Amino acid sequence: MLPEVEAWLSRRTSSAADWPARALLSAKADASISVVLPARNEEETVGEIVSAVRRDLVEAVPLVDELVVIDSRSSDDTAARALRAGAKVFAQDEILPELHEPRYDGKGEALWKSLAVTTGDLVVFVDADLREFRTSFVTGLLGPLLADPAVGYVKACYDRPLLGAAEPNAGGRVTELVARPLLNLHWPLLAGFVQPLAGEYAGRRAVLERVPFVTGYGVELGLLIDLLDLVGLDALAQVDLGRRVHSHQSTEALGGMAGQIMHTAWARLERHHKVVPLHEPSTRLVQFERGPAGHRPLTRHVGVAERPPMATVPQYASRLR
């Protein structure tokens, strides 16, 4: 590990317990805070998360000003349960309809569009599939931002158990097999992030609106690399949230995620002139499943689209005037 990363690790890593809600309320001053949950078919968990945030951080301690769920084409009761629990709910495809944009899919699209329907100076993103959710996830991410104006973006880190596995950190397989090797190879300044693909993070709106958002599963890696380039390592921080439990993807689905993350990294290597491209990487991933006649190939599209920095979108910029 680079010496500057070791120094950053000790200086910019904290614990959720370091940031109690009432202390943050005193530090909040005039800042406004939005909490965003991107959700697709998360009816089992989204209502409980929304209810907990409202109970602890809106009613008991008035820290959060806006609680928003972006419904990403759910086919279940996600939107209704989030609404009943007290969130503002927006359908992903109804945000910025005047752009006549392509129908992009993926988590990053929901996160990008959330910037257009929220108003908080600080924006906290929390995955909607979390089990054993604690509101310290939100306060932990807000702590470094409220304590130090030099911090622009905060990532979560935690233990990631894989349900049914004996090892306490058997989750996060794409992180260990794809994202961490890529970062250590090409962006070693980011090697201190324990969970570079963590789905929980927070940032200043003024920072988040200045970087592109990958529309698919590469959004976390893309944000981390682009923000390093935009604001530098010392403006980034991480907070230990303890333990994160959520539903897990199949190995085949993880392969698709890995493909999107590799495409996200490739685009940034090319953009930052770290590679001399001699070809365009294929956007097709061939996987196999066994059938009655043997192994059958299945082709998955793993190319990723990007949304431009929100500050460059005229419809958004005009809203801010």
Q: What is the pLDDT of residues 5-44, one digit of tens each?
A: 999 999 999 999 999 999 999 999 999 999 999 999 999 9
Does residue 164 register a pLDDT over 60? no
Q: What per-residue string of b and e applies to 26-43 under the rule 16 or more CB within 10 Å gives b? A: eebeeeebbbbbbbbbbb
Using CB atoms within 10 Å of the CB of residue 78, give its burial: 0 to 12 exposed, 13 to 18 middle, 19+ buried. Answer: buried
Say what percent of the chain tops pLDDT 70.
94
Tell me how many helices (H) and strands (E) the chain has. 12, 14
Q: Averaged over 72-95, what is the pLDDT?
A: 96
Q: Which two tokens stand for residue 60?
A: 């008991």
DSSP label at residue 57: I
Angle between helices 78-85 and 46-54 (to 10 degrees): 20
Predicted confidence at residue 160, as pLDDT, reads: 79
Predicted confidence at residue 246, as pLDDT, reads: 60
**For residue 196, how many C-alpha atoms fall within 13 Å in the half-sphere facing its CB?**
30
Please state, in angstroms and rounded to a whole number, the distance separating the CA atoms of residues 268 and 77.
37
Does residue 247 register a pLDDT over 90? no
CB of 21 closer than 8 Å to CB of 139: yes
Residue with the larger pLDDT of the pair 45 and 315: 45
> Is the dihedral angle over the CA atoms 6, 7, 8, 10 positive or is it negative?
positive
Predicted confidence at residue 74, as pLDDT, reads: 96
Q: Averaged over 257-279, what is the pLDDT?
A: 94
CB of 82 closer than 8 Å to CB of 50: yes
Q: Averaged over 193-211, what is the pLDDT?
A: 97
Q: Averaged over 48-66, what is the pLDDT?
A: 98
Tens-place pLDDT, residues 103-143? 888 899 999 999 999 999 999 999 999 999 999 999 999 99
Say what percent of the chain tops pLDDT 90.
83
Does residue 169 register a pLDDT over 70? no
CB of 41 closer than 8 Å to CB of 77: no
Place of tokens 């406004």: 32
Give how far Cα 117 sits from Cα of 31, 70, 90, 114, Å.
Answer: 17, 9, 8, 5
Task: Report the relative pairing of strands 88-91 and 201-204 from DSSP bridges.
Answer: unpaired
Amino acid at the residue 85: A
Give how far Cα 158 sits from Cα of 37, 73, 112, 169, Å.
Answer: 19, 29, 24, 9
Predicted confidence at residue 168, as pLDDT, reads: 60
DSSP label at residue 190: G
Please state, in angstroms and rounded to a whole number, the distance separating the CA atoms of residues 80 and 271.
42
Picking from 102, 104, 99, 154, the residue whose alpha carbon sits closest to that of residue 126 is 154
Tens-place pLDDT, residues 252-261? 989 999 999 9
Using alpha carbons only, what angle is made at residue 281 by residues 278 and 285, rounded to the nearest 5 degrees? 155
